[in-house]
Chain A
Amino acid sequence: MSAPTTTTPGSTDRADTLHFTPPKVRFYPTFVKHGGSILGLALFTILATWAWQPYFHGELARIMAGLGVAAGLTVLIGLNGQFSLGHGALMAVSGYTVAIFQKKFEDVPSLYGWRVVISLAIGVALAMVAGLIVGVTAARLRGPYLAGTTLALALIVPAVGDWWKSLLNSDQGLTVDIDKMPTAIASMHIGQVYVVPLQWRAWIAIFATVPVIFVLANLVKSRLGRTWRMIRDDEVAAQLSGVNVARTQIVCFVVSAFAAGVSGGLLALISRVANPGTFGINLGLFLLLGIVIGGIGSLWGALWGSIIVVAIPDYLTAKVQDWTHGNNVLYGRFNGNLALVLFGLALIIVILFAPGGIQSFINRVIAWAKRGFQQRASG
């Protein structure tokens, strides 16, 4: 067999003989592209908040808090094949830590304005330590065993709050103290419209979530990200090609705990409280629900998921309020439960009939549109 003749890519010789046009070489690295699109989207959203009612600022802040952990979880479940219902507990670690340190740094005037950053950093670090501990265990567990164990983890949050009452104040939890808007921000305005506190809180959520998404987007496309997917697809093959499966899984768990830590701290800052109700068992279940419906394994899917999980229950609450005309008994019955039933149905339908969720539908529409353009261009 003769060695293939080497040709420079793109030379007419090769294109003629093989009818092959080489793809355009991308001259900018992936992280520039990701950084650009994520920052662009974030800046656009920040500008857009000026046109919104405070209600939507609150929604945006919670969506952003959900986005970070959802992205971390979708990478863990969708790309690494590990499962977790216990990310609510990891978020609790960070949320409670933020609450404690916000209080502790209250009387340190030199930290003014920066104590949020410091306590969030401590919270994230502790969440990552917790993630490391859980991840070491999780790397030895599979399938339903891992699901059950992480569910047990999610259930200990209220018990730990009760047990360590002096620090965590059982069911009541801790209130989270935050600084007022810096004067520089408070004096910002477009026309006569000044920044409102809720808007500023939404910005904080955006500032904190952007780096998380940036890190995840790049890791997913990196060598490490490919190794994660390799383990998901075939653990034995990964092992045979020299991948340290356990260590790689643990790294993935810690990365997703990092995302959960940022989100947990944000959730505490936004809701101004860290208690077992905020970080209860339902948080982990709703996160799973969001990423499955949004499209498991996709960061965009995590965004759709967190929008759905935050916005739909609030929308339904308002609707139920309208429908029940102030009938408190009926309102108590349908508020929350209607969303629960609809989410359950959606979850089952997505798993059985549309495993790629919303993002795969969007991808299909984009592909269909592209094909249409190409046909029109060539024909």
Chain B
Amino acid sequence: MNFATFVTMTVDGLAQGAAISAFALALVLIWRAARVVNFAQGAMAAASAYIAVTVIQHTGSFWLGLAAALISGAIFGVFVESSVMRFASHTAPLNAVILALGSTFIIQGALGAIYGPDLRDPGNPFSHAYRMVAGVGLPSDLNIFTFVSVALMVVALVLLFGKTKLGLRLRASAFAPEVSRLLGINVSFMRTVGWALAATAGALAAEVILPTQLGVNPNAMDGVFVTAFTAAVLGGLDSPIGAVVGGMILGLVLNYVTGFVNPVAPPVATLVVLLLVLLVRPNGIFAGVKERHV
């Protein structure tokens, strides 16, 4: 293991981490809005990736496809929330998990029936090849695209939540739904908006993750879901910044495990990290002082 390989591995790990962050953000946004871990996020992201594949096939433009993925992601978010998840009982948290799994079955079954069993090329034009500078592999075009698009999304979310009235309403209804309702905020609409934002983030995550995998298929994001869940738990599940940092850390860890231990080890490493976090610091590395009441 020489220095050059290590640098390449780190760069790749950070890029993978950025992609995981985007997906983890999707989970955190929904958790904050509705106190639900969205187990259907993987299937929803796969669905928007398929939409992008179709659009790219017909128009030849990756950017139109990307836009279609993000918009359809938001629409899927609104649809899943308002047709199914809204009715989840708040007293039995596992019902929400089961409802999300039911939605997953429907989405994956429908995708399989519409697009068939073959793997599809996600249609991402950016090169996977590292820039070689004095024998050291520096970020590929795809890595840069990942960093930039995820960074843009994080900035957009920070501005939205921090600087706009909508963001204030979103935060208010997440933290004090009763008070917000009294102040005239339409809390259930805010929840729907939260789902739309989250699903958009998930769709972006699919667009940057799938080019590094075998191809688009209905189950393509299942493994990513668990990785992103681990990242979100690592960051505290309540904290968007935590999700980003957690995603980066996990991306690095998984890439080093791939390089130093065994290429097939990442799922095992994910489970180990998840268990360590939950058993040692269950509220994540960014946990506030206050205990969380669910």
User: How many residues of A are in contact with the other chain, CB < 8 A?
Assistant: 46
Known: A143-B94, A148-B37, A163-B262. A288 touches B101 (CB 8 A): yes
Known: A147-B97, A163-B262. A289 touches B275 (CB 8 A): no
Contacts of A140 in B (CB 8 A): 278-279, 282
Decide: B116 and A148 in contact? CB cutoff 8 A.
no
Shortest C-beta distance, B239 to chain A (Å), equals 16
| A145 close to B (CB within 8 Å) | yes
Question: In this assembly, does A22 line the interface, its C-beta being within 8 Å of a C-beta of chain B?
Answer: no
Cα A348 to Cα B112 in complex, Å, equals 20
Bound-complex Cα distance A341 to B108 (A): 8
Nearest chain B CB to A181 CB, angstrom units = 38
A348 and B97 CA atoms in complex are apart in Å by 11
B12-20, B165-173, B265-273: which lies at the interface: B265-273
B residues within 8 A CB of A285? 101, 105
B109:A341 contact, CB within 8 angstroms: yes
| Binary contact track B86-115/A, C-beta < 8 Å → 1, others 0 | 010000011111110111111111101110
Instruction: Give the residues in chain B near A41, CB-CB below 8 Å.
Output: none
Give the tally of cross-chain contacts (CB within 8 A). Answer: 137
Q: CB distance A348 to B110 under 8 Å?
A: no
Does B294 have its Cβ within 8 Å of any Cβ on chain A?
yes
Contacting residues, chain B, for A83 (C-beta < 8 A): 94, 97
Q: Closest residue of chain B to A347, judged by CB?
A: B102
Task: Give, as a whole number of angstroms, the nearest-CB distance from B50 to chain A.
Answer: 13
Indicate if B23 sits at the interface (CB-CB under 8 A): no
Q: Is A334 an interface residue (CB 8 A)?
A: yes
- Mask for A309-334, Cβ within 8 A of B = 1, else 0? 00000000000000000000100111
Instruction: Say if the beta carbon of B11 comes within 8 Å of chain A.
Output: no
Q: What is the interface of chain A mostly: helix, strand, loop, or mixed?
A: helix
Query: In this assembly, does A343 line the interface, its C-beta being within 8 Å of a C-beta of chain B?
Result: yes
Given A160-B268, A162-B264, A332-B117, answer yes or no on A149-B278 (Cβ-Cβ < 8 Å): yes
Chain B count of residues within 8 A CB distance of the other chain:
48
The stretch among A11-19, A150-158, A206-214, A264-272 that forms the contact with chain B is A150-158
- A143-B267 contact in complex given A288-B101, A292-B98, C-beta closer than 8 Å: no
A348-B267 contact, Cβ under 8 Å, with A144-B93, A152-B226, A337-B113: no
Residues of chain B within 8 A (CB-CB) of A239 are: none
Interface string of B69-98 (1 = CB under 8 A from A): 000000000000000100100000111111
Residues of A with C-beta under 8 A to B101:
285, 288-289, 347
Cβ contact of A344, chosen from B95, B106, B225, cutoff 8 A: B106
Q: Closest approach, in angstroms, between the C-beta of A218 and any C-beta of chain B?
A: 26
Complex contact A333–B294 (CB within 8 A):
no
Q: Which 4 A-B pairs have the closest CB atoms?
A: A344-B105, A340-B109, A347-B102, A344-B106
**8 A–B contacts, CB within 8 A, in A order:** A144-B36, A148-B233, A152-B271, A329-B116, A332-B117, A336-B109, A343-B102, A344-B109
**Given A148-B230, A285-B101, A341-B110, 15 extra CB contacts under 8 A:** A137-B278, A143-B94, A152-B230, A152-B267, A163-B262, A163-B265, A329-B116, A337-B112, A337-B113, A338-B109, A340-B108, A341-B109, A342-B109, A344-B107, A351-B95
